[in-house]
Structure 1
């Protein structure tokens, strides 16, 4: 007698492949920027410039310096993997929403001509997503699990995130930080069908 095969959950490697690939791409771009003539940062998001709207997609992958990239790498990896727990499709949807909302807000509120680059828009977006994920419809067990994760994330990154918006240093885009977090909050409720509560 045979029994139907039961579907298996994606392996840890498959779940976390997406943020790892994105982070590797950021490092590859920074390396290429260091050895090739010119600078890729010019492809970032330039506020109030229609031709610079492509930066909505490109600016999170670009960094002004190695120090800038290094500072973003660990929080991007940790928070990105927490989003990727829900699967690759969810990770890319959340990333796209954060990039669009964060990019649009930055493009509108930054001074005209301001160039913005860096993965911090995604870092703040992932933080907002993980912190608010507990509010999304779903089974009680999942909501409790995400509440515990959210508490740990807020404890680890909450102060830095607050200062990144309300105490950003000169030359740091608080707009990207704020609207990235807003995008993460919006992403919690987009493309999700209400689940049954246990």
Structure 2
């Protein structure tokens, strides 16, 4: 990434508008009575595999989707503004890898309650985007991108509390948050390490 290549265009928000629009469309279908069963990630259950693809689109109630809408829009827009070439790769891989890892992670709540967990909501994706944006700026050592990282840390630093089970309310998927952070970090290191290598060549 080079500061000279950063150009902000109106098209940079199209992906975010589309993503948020789909999330709200699906929520409308939920409100009409569709998706009454769990379509989210259910760890270690065959029927929970579909949640790898669907869980970020589903929300439990109006407050849930409202709280996720603005950060999802802002962070996804920043991704497309500052990391155009990587944006779709990060969004798609981050979405799928986070879902797969969440499905593979043991269902700790089941061990305590005997009830399977159903993970839904875009917050895991939000954590992945925030993590990717924060660490990418640091790895690339670009002044503007480092500033973006600092802004992300200031605005969304409180998200860090969401990865600790003792600091979140019952029913909140701290596992999805934690995995999102790890996946965002992994993608930022992998993709930007490759970018540095290409730049040196």
For the aligned pair, the TM-score class normalised by the smaller chain equals 0.7 to 0.9
Task: Report which of the two has the higher share of helix.
Answer: 2
Distance 1:125 1:41, change over 3 A: farther
2:61 corresponds, among 40, 62, 65, to 65
| Two-structure CA RMSD over aligned residues (Å) | 2.3
Which residue of structure 2 aligns with residue 44 of structure 1?
40
| TM-score normalised to structure 1 length | 0.83
Mapped contact 2:138–2:149 kept (Cα < 8 A)? no
Alignment partner of 1:119 is 2:122: yes
Q: Give, in whole Å, the separation in 2 of the partners of 1:99 and 1:177.
A: 12
Distance 1:73 1:105, change over 3 A: same
2:22 corresponds, among 22, 25, 34, to 25
Which residue of structure 1 aligns with residue 186 of structure 2?
186
Shift of 1:93: 1.1
Mapped contact 1:46–1:53 kept (Cα < 8 A)? yes
Q: Give, in whole Å, the separation in 2 of the partners of 1:123 and 1:41.
A: 24
Matches within 5 A, 1:158-169: 158-159=157-158, 161-166=159-164, 167-169=167-169
Alignment partner of 1:13 is 2:10: yes
Where does the alignment leave 5 or more consecutive residues of structure 1 unmatched? 1-7
Q: Give, in whole Å, the separation in 2 of the partners of 1:42 and 1:88.
A: 34
Deviation string for 1:161-190 (max 9, x for gaps)?
111112121100100000011111111134
Which residue of structure 2 aligns with residue 146 of structure 1?
145
| TM-score normalised to structure 2 length | 0.82
Number of residues paired by the alignment? 184
Where does the alignment leave 5 or more consecutive residues of structure 2 unmatched? 111-115
